[in-house]
């Protein structure tokens, strides 16, 4: 049985996930979640070259920590450790949202997205934006984001496609 099938079968299991703010000593574990999410989960939609270039962003822990510190980061945890994380920057851009493969399709991304939307509203954002991967695109659509276009970015000399997404906040819709 492959990992995807196992995650599908466990989708109904109640998992004790909770979210909280990240701490500086979480960086190494968050970097591992980032790399595993890309290398394993994203392998369904991207080439090995794209995955390697994308995951390389977390190879230097100090640089990765600096990137995390550019916004507000929430982590999702269970009894085994960190199972996901998300980051929102001012004035309302979701810069990162990643789930550990072992917790895929078990509600972690939904919990983190709820936190990001709450934080965006608290920041006073009129709209929340994101650059979604092929795999995250459906999650953003589910949460009311609208695609604003597709772009190709370069990571370590490799082109990667992503979707520019936007969700107007309730007070901006009036």
The kind and range of the H/E element at 36 are helix 27-39
84 located within any domain: yes
Nearest CA among 122, 126, 119 for reference residue 97: 119
Q: Is residue 97 part of a domain?
A: yes
**Domain assignment of residue 146, yes or no:** yes
Q: What is the pLDDT of residue 172?
A: 52
* Residue 16 banded pLDDT, cuts 50, 70, 90: confident
Cut 0.85: pTM above it: yes
Percent of the chain with pLDDT strictly greater than 90: 87
The pLDDT tens digits of the residues spanning 40-97 come to: 999 999 999 999 999 999 999 999 999 999 999 999 999 999 999 999 998 899 999 9
Instruction: Give the Cα separation of 158 and 50 in Å (integer).
Output: 6
Decide: residue 62, CB within 10 A, 0-12 exposed, 13-18 middle, 19+ buried.
Answer: exposed
Q: What is the CATH number of the domain that holds 74?
A: 3.40.630.30
Evaluate whether residue 147 is within a structural domain: yes
| Residue 168 in domain | yes
What domain range includes position 133?
17-173
> What's the chain's Rg over C-alpha atoms?
16
Residue 5 placed within a domain: no
Domain count, the chain: 1
């Amino acid at each position: 049985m492959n990992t995807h099938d196992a995650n599908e079968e466990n989708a109904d299991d109640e998992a004790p996930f909770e979210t909280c703010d990240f701490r500086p000593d979480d960086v190494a574990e968050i970097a591992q979640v980032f790399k595993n999410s890309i290398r394993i989960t994203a392998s369904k939609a991207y080439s090995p070259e794209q995955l390697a270039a994308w995951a390389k962003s977390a190879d230097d822990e100090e640089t990765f920590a600096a990137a995390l510190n550019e916004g507000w980061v929430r982590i999702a945890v269970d009894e085994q450790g960190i199972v996901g994380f998300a980051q929102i920057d001012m004035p309302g851009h979701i810069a990162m949202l990643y789930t550990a493969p072992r917790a895929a399709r078990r509600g972690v991304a939904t919990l983190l997205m709820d936190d990001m939307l709450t934080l965006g509203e608290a920041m006073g954002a009129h709209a929340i934006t994101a650059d979604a991967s092929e795999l995250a695109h459906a999650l953003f659509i589910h949460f009311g984001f609208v695609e604003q276009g597709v772009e190709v970015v370069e990571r370590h000399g490799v082109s990667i496609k992503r979707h520019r997404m936007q969700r107007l906040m309730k007070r901006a819709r009036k």
